[in-house]
Amino acid sequence: MEVIPAIDIRNGACVQLVGGDITKEKVHIDDPVAQARRFIDMGAKWIHIVDLDRALGTGNNMQVIRRIMEVPGARYQVGGGIRFTEDIDDLLAANAARVVVGTRAVTDEKWFAHVCERYGGRVFAAVDARGDEILIKGWTESSGKKLLPWAKEADKLGVGGLLYTDVALEGRMSGVNATAVEALAKSVDVPVVASGGVSSMEDLQELWEAHAWGVVVGMAAYTGKLDVAHAIRHFARKGGR
């Protein structure tokens, strides 16, 4: 199982928010590129980048993201406000290994089917949920779609994988929703990457047992609650489920 550190970018800085709330910024690091290097030095093989400004429609951090992805030693998955085919093209050309599409994947099936066919496994879908309800537009609106039925349809369309976030847990380090991850992983044939609430090795173990292909770690990695280097080594040895 891959342990994947997160770099969330707002106004050019690396931040961590509680529950995705921009008024609740708990971590602020001015140099995201240096932070990427630190994670790679810890053994990270994947890094998850989120453009919070683009997700919220307040701008974008493409210049910073390009600089991060120039750092060798890891593969990068990038998401946050990706709503146009040109955005995907730009990120893949800039060295993204895969691009995570959220809102438009849920709201525009024709476009989503097109990008799944065009890019294959290099496009993941972000499934941001509260309970079984999928949220969109930076978690500010309900999509009206339910988690498992939509995930099965995405699988049929040829999506490369799913990034599942329990938004009620995100940034709170209060434990994970392994039950939901397992139900999702068993309902699709593509990899499921889990996010939200990780605070310990025990949480990671639960997600490994729930058949997660990978886990994004954010707040716990920045606050010292989780030894990222140890976690990466440990779960690399355990392999997948």
Exactly one of 8, 53, 87, 166 is catalytic; name it.
8
Percent of the chain scoring above 90 in pLDDT: 75
Output the pLDDT for position 233: 95
pLDDT band for position 25 (cuts 50, 70, 90): confident
Tens-digit pLDDT profile for residues 230-241: 999 999 977 655
Mean of all residue pLDDT scores within the chain: 91
Which carries the bigger pLDDT value, residue 58 or residue 154?
A: 154
Total domain count, the chain: 1
Specify the pTM.
Answer: 0.92
- How large is the average pLDDT for residues 15-27? 74
Instruction: Find the mean pLDDT for residues 202-209.
Output: 96
CATH for 222: 3.20.20.70
What is the pLDDT at residue 141? 80
16 within 8 A of 27, measured Cβ to Cβ: yes
Rounded mean pLDDT, 211-222: 94
Which amino acid type is present at position 82?
A: I
Token reading at 234: 């440990």
Mean pLDDT of the region 209-234: 95
Confirm whether 128 is a catalytic residue.
yes
CA 21 to chain centre: 16
pLDDT at 170: 59
Q: What is the DSSP string of the chain?
A: -EEEEEEEEETTEEEEESTT-TT-EEEEES-HHHHHHHHHHTT-SEEEEEEHHHHTTS---HHHHHHHHTSTTSEEEEESS--SHHHHHHHHHTT-SEEEE-HHHHH-HHHHHHHHHHHGGGEEEEEEEETTEEEETTTTEEEEEEHHHHHHHHHHHT-SEEEEEETTTTTT-S---HHHHHHHHHH-SS-EEEES---SHHHHHHHHHTT-SEEEE-HHHHHTSS-HHHHHHHHHHH---
Q: What is the pLDDT of residues 83-134, one digit of tens each?
A: 999 999 999 999 999 999 999 999 999 999 999 999 988 999 999 998 889 9
Catalytic residue among 53, 87, 128, 203: 128
Domain span holding position 97: 2-238
Q: What is the pLDDT of residue 142?
A: 73
Torsion of CA 189, 165, 139, 47, to 10 degrees: -100
